[in-house]
Chains A and B, each alone.
Chain A
Amino acid sequence: MNTVAHGGDGQVHGASVGTNLAIWIGLVAITGLEVFLAYEELQPTLMLTILVGLSLVKAAMIMSYFMHLKFEKFSLVLWLVPSMIFCIMMMMIFFYPEAFRLLHMRPH
């Protein structure tokens, strides 16, 4: 199934070279921010929340521009993203209560 939003007309569809370069610089900058925060000795839960949040931002940038999802039909986004989120949430349902129950049972 061809879900790519361009034909073989030789024309470039999607972001320009400048935009892709700006996205790349943004990705490197966020990486630098993550490394900086790693040495700030934040409380682990806060650190984890910030790191996962920044990773999700980087993932959205890569998927939107480098993987071209921003320029595809929206039906492709609806087809892919909700199903992934649903399956990951299902995995988290088993992780969340059990992991923290065992955390509280750890010897102090």
Chain B
Amino acid sequence: MWLFLVSDTLTFSALLITYSYCRITNPDWPRPFPMYPAIVFSTSMTVVLLASSLTMVMAVMASQRNDRAATVKWMIATMFGGLAFTALHLREWFHLIEEGCTITHNPWGTPLFGAVFFGVTGMHMTHVMIGVIYLAIVAYGYGRGKFNAEDVEVNGLYWHFVDLVWMFVFPLIYLMSVKY
């Protein structure tokens, strides 16, 4: 799992460096994120994802105590965090789409903004959804006795990675494009 996470880190690094390159070299890059709803929603998403990381830590600690019931409950809480993040993020996406910003069109400037924004955040959201499915499979299997504590810990590594990526995406994409 660590090797996969290193390769995925490089994937996201390439995406964020591409975003930085597009932004620096484009004179009409917009700053389309007002305090409400964009920054309020994205900050809430950050706190929700951090909370889900904490519940995953609790799940791993419970699995190390061989407490299967508590582990499954904490993993279900983590899944809820992931689903809440996705719901908030989709709502944030629709705010932009309603204003005319799509993957090929940007009403405030270069169309590259839409492509980069939806590309980077879409890639992250896909990872979150895959993480939720992974959590469901491991929680179900661990509860039935098919998986062990190490499987829960490896699952936790993936989930914390997803959170870690958002720690870079949120400031670079949202906070650097705040509308004053």
Chain A interfacial positions (CB closer than 8 Å to B)? 2-4, 6, 8, 10-14, 17, 20-21, 24, 27-28, 31, 34-35, 37-39, 41, 44, 47-48, 51-52, 54-55, 58-59, 62-63, 65-68, 76, 79-80, 83-84, 87-88, 91-92, 95, 98-100, 102-103, 106-107
B27 touches A99 (CB 8 A): no
**Which residues in B have their C-beta under 8 angstroms from that of A6?**
64
CB-CB under 8 A from A35, the residues of chain B are 39, 43, 175
Measured CA separation A103–B160 after assembly (Å): 35
Name the residue of chain A whose CB is nearest to the CB of B2: A80
Instruction: For A44, list chain B residues within 8 Å (CB).
Output: 176
Contact between chains at A87 and B10 (CB < 8 Å): yes
When the two chains form their complex, are residues B24 and A99 in contact, meaning their CB atoms are under 8 A apart? yes
- Is B47 among interface residues, defined by CB-CB distance under 8 A? yes
Asked if B150 and A2 make an inter-chain contact with CB atoms under 8 angstroms apart, the answer reads: yes
B54, A103: Cβ atoms closer than 8 Å:
no
Measured CA separation A102–B35 after assembly (Å)? 31
Bin the interface of chain B by size. 35 or more
**Across the interface, which residues of A come within 8 angstroms of B39, CB to CB?**
35, 38
The answer on a CB contact under 8 Å between B164 and A63 is yes
B116 within 8 A of A: no
Question: Measured between alpha carbons, how far is A79 from B6 in the docked complex, in Å?
Answer: 10
Q: A34-B171, A59-B167 given as contacts; is B54 within 8 A of A83 (CB)?
A: no
A-B contacts besides A11-B64, A65-B57, 16 pairs, CB < 8 Å: A10-B65, A31-B50, A52-B172, A58-B167, A59-B167, A59-B168, A63-B164, A66-B53, A66-B156, A67-B156, A91-B10, A91-B13, A99-B20, A100-B24, A102-B24, A106-B25
Give A47 Cβ to nearest chain B Cβ, in Å: 7
Identify which of residues 122-167 in chain B touch chain A, using a CB-to-CB cut-off of 8 Å.
148-150, 153, 156-157, 160-161, 163-164, 167
